[in-house]
Structure 1
Amino acid sequence: MALGISQVTIYVEDQQRAVDFWTGKMGFKLTRDMPYGEDRWIEVEPPSGGSRLVVHKADPSWPALGKELPNYVMFQADDIVETHKELVARGVEFAQEPVRQPWGWSAVFRDDDGHLFHLGQR
């Protein structure tokens, strides 16, 4: 049996701001943007393809979006130092610069909603 991950959902306060971040700053491709109830169903895909992110509007009645700890979504780059430089030049904020850990390279970046994500190196 071959299983994979097709998509991961990220809950955001402002869908358009999130689309602007993922497509403009991170270089992802918008693969789907369609009406979904009162909001939109939005999917973005990394430049290298693979699993998509669903940018979903958070319900205001839900608890506050967690912004203190990184999400356990790790993006990978072939060269984390060069990728970090490119993303910083595009306006991506890093909470942790690339650092070599015993298990490999790691960095943490913040999206425009304040969510934290890991960036690793292949």
Structure 2
Amino acid sequence: MTLGISQVTVYVEDQQRAVDFWSGKMGFEVVRDMPYGEHRWIEVEPPAGGARLVIHHADPSWPALVKDLPNYVMFHTDDIVKTHQELVARGVEFTQPPNQQPWGWSAVFRDDDGHLFHLGQR
């Protein structure tokens, strides 16, 4: 049996703001953007390929999003210091710059909705 991850959903308050962040600042490609009820079904893919992010509208009646803890989504790069510098130049906010951990290099960045994500180095 072969299993993999094809999509991870990120719930956002403003889908266009999220598209602008993920495509403009992070360099992801918008691979699907179509009507979905009152909102849109949007998928973005990282430059290196792999699992896509689904940018889904968060309904205001849902419980508040937890914004103080990183999502358990880790992006990877071959050179974390260089990638950090490039993303900062594009306006990405890092709450934790690259640092060496016992298990490897790690950094944490924030999207424009306040979600925190990990960046690691392979």
**TM > 0.5:** yes
1:53-92 alignment, distance < 5 Å: 53-92=53-92
Deviation at 1:66, TM superposition (A): 1.0
1:95-110 alignment, distance < 5 Å: 95-110=95-110
Q: How many residues align?
A: 122
**Separation in 1 of the partners of 2:49 and 2:104?**
23
Deviation at 1:9, TM superposition (A): 0.2
Sequence identity (%): 83
Query: What residue in structure 1 maps to residue 4 of structure 2?
Result: 4
Deviation at 1:32, TM superposition (A): 0.1
**Separation in 2 of the partners of 1:96 and 1:48?**
23
**Separation in 2 of the partners of 1:106 and 1:61?**
34
Deviations 1:49-94 (CA, angstroms, capped at 9, x unpaired): 1100000000100111110000000000100000000000000000
**Separation in 2 of the partners of 1:82 and 1:121?**
11
Query: What residue in structure 2 maps to residue 44 of structure 1?
Result: 44
**Separation in 2 of the partners of 1:116 and 1:41?**
22
Query: What residue in structure 2 maps to residue 33 of structure 1?
Result: 33
**Which letter does structure 1 place at the counterpart of 2:113?**
D
Deviation at 1:38, TM superposition (A): 0.3
Q: TM-score, normalised by structure 2?
A: 0.99
Q: Secondary structure at the match of 1:71?
A: strand
**Separation in 2 of the partners of 1:48 and 1:82?**
15
**Separation in 2 of the partners of 1:28 and 1:37?**
24
**Separation in 1 of the partners of 2:66 and 2:56?**
15
Q: TM-score, normalised by structure 1?
A: 0.99
Alignment RMSD (CA, Å): 0.3
Q: Secondary structure at the match of 2:21?
A: helix
**Which letter does structure 2 place at the counterpart of 1:74?**
M
